Amino acid sequence: MAETNKFPEVQGGGSLLIAWQIKGKRVLVVGGGEVAAGRILNLLNADALVTVICPSAGLNPEVAHRVANNQVTHIDRKFQPSDLSPLPPAEPIAMVLVAVDDPAASTTIWQLCKTLSIPANIADVPPECDFYFGSVHRDGPLQIMVSTNGKGPRLASTIRKFIAEALPPDAGRAIEKVGRLRTKLRQVAPAVEDGPKRMGWMTRVSDAYSWEDMCALDEEDMDNLLKWYASGKVPELEVLKGMGSGSGVDVDGLIEGFDGSFGFSVGA
- Residue pLDDT, tens place only, 16-64: 888 899 999 999 999 999 999 999 999 999 999 999 999 999 999 999 9
Do strands 142-146 and 135-139 pair parallel, antiparallel, or not at all (unpaired)?
antiparallel
Please state the rounded mean pLDDT for residues 76-99. 93
Query: Where are the strands (E) in 147-226, listed by range?
Result: none
What percent of the chain is helix, strand and coil (3-state, nearest 5)? Answer: 45, 10, 45
Which candidate in 76, 101, 102, 124 is catalytic? 124
Q: Do 26-133 and 171-257 agree at the fold level?
A: no
* CATH classification for the domain delimited by 26-133, as one of 1.10.275.10, 3.30.460.20, 3.40.1160.10, 3.40.50.720: 3.40.50.720
| Phi and psi at residue 29, to the nearest 5° | -115, 115
* CATH classification for the domain delimited by 171-257, as one of 1.10.3280, 1.10.246, 1.10.1410, 1.10.1060: 1.10.3280
Annotated domain spans of the chain = 26-133, 171-257
Cβ neighbours for 209, distance < 8 A, ≥ 6 positions apart = 217, 237, 265, 267
Characterize 204-230 residue by residue with b for buried, 16 or more Cβ atoms within 10 angstroms of its Cβ, and e for exposed: ebeebbebbbbbebeeebbebbbbbbe
218 is catalytic: no
For the question of whether the overall pTM of this predicted structure is more than 0.85, the answer is no
